[in-house]
Structure 1
Amino acid sequence: MPENDETGDTWDYTLYVPNDLRAVTVCRQTLRVILNLHGLTGLADTAELLATELVSNAVRHTKGPAALRVRRSAEGLVWIGAWDTDPEPPEPPVPLEEALEREEGRGLGLVTACAEYWGWHPSARFGDRGKYVWCELGVA
């Protein structure tokens, strides 16, 4: 396996998880394995932090299942998204300085600070309405 995924190959993985906080750890570890397999070890720490924030929000704030989706675009970006069963948009992120002083509600502030881009869009899985909250990291 190459040290860097310079092949420009695209890939796409989805991990469906139950509404259980333990699923956050499963998603984080699965993401690290995916990045290591594709030679993107340098992204693993930041990607794990962002996936943890996105998936934990999906599991904490909804009652249904969730999913982690990770893909590599032809442009070289790694896209990380968390799907949940709540179709409502996420709360706007607070500024990073304020987020760091909070006990809760700092997730999207960290995502905003660490990712190239982030956003959300409505989506459906399992026949339920919901949304994806996502972010992108440059492979560099």
Structure 2
Amino acid sequence: MVTVALPDTWVYALRLPHDPRAARVARTTVRAALNGHGMSEVLDVAVLLTSELVTNAYQYANGAASLRLTALGGGRLRVSVWDANPYVPAPFDAAPGVRPSPAPVDAVNGRGLLLVQAWADAWGGDALGRGAGKLLWFEVGGRAREAWAV
């Protein structure tokens, strides 16, 4: 039996310890994978948004997290972060197109996931049930973004 895969599809998975350095490890991994596969056009956005998801996993879940990078073909990338906390935060808990209210001006947090919503081409989150935690994900590279060219 022969397995055929598109040349621009691939998957990387990384288990991250519950450690404040996990976001840095995730950023380094994303940079290396995307540079190695010639996906520089989505590099900066993917690194930023990955950092946001991994930081939230560290801050709001106890225990390890997992990072998964999946090249979907056509220059598209999906980044998924799993953690053990089943709570799906806003804006990931809302239907697509529903915008949560912004964080107060003097708040020290509450903006990271709004960055994901603003810069990703698609995003979502699911509670996995039965104590299995949640999975938050985003996709980039699926459509032209005028803001990236600024």
TM over 0.5: yes
Question: What secondary structure sits across from 1:98 in the alignment?
Answer: coil
C-alpha contact (below 8 Å) 1:89/1:131 kept by paired residues: yes
Choose which of 85, 99, 102 in structure 2 pairs with 1:98. 102
Q: Are 1:120 and 2:125 matched, yes or no?
A: yes
C-alpha contact (below 8 Å) 2:91/2:117 kept by paired residues: no
Change (3 A) 1:96 1:48: farther
> What percent of counterpart residues are identical?
41
Change (3 A) 1:47 1:100: farther
Is there any run of 5+ residues in structure 1 with no aligned partner, and where? 1-6
C-alpha contact (below 8 Å) 2:91/2:99 kept by paired residues: no
Question: What secondary structure sits across from 2:58 in the alignment?
Answer: helix
The CA RMSD over aligned residues, in Å, is: 2.7
Task: State how far apart, in whole Å, the 1-side matches of 2:70 and 2:104 are.
Answer: 29
C-alpha contact (below 8 Å) 2:8/2:74 kept by paired residues: no
How many pairs align? 132
Please give the TM-score of this superposition, normalised by the length of structure 1: 0.82
Change (3 A) 1:35 1:63: same
The structural deviation recorded for 1:95 is 5.7
Paired position in structure 1 for 2:21: 22
Letter in 1 for 2:67: L
Q: Where in structure 2 are the equivalents of 1:32-111 lying within 5 Å?
A: 32-92=31-91, 98-99=102-103, 101=105, 102-111=107-116
Task: State how far apart, in whole Å, the 1-side matches of 2:122 and 2:103 are.
Answer: 18
Question: What secondary structure sits across from 1:82 in the alignment?
Answer: strand
1:85-136: CA deviations, max 9, x gaps? Answer: 0122123379699359442011110001100011012348xxx611110000
Task: State how far apart, in whole Å, the 1-side matches of 2:41 and 2:104 are.
Answer: 24
Question: What secondary structure sits across from 2:102 in the alignment?
Answer: helix
> Between Structure 1 and Structure 2, whose CA radius of gyration is higher?
2
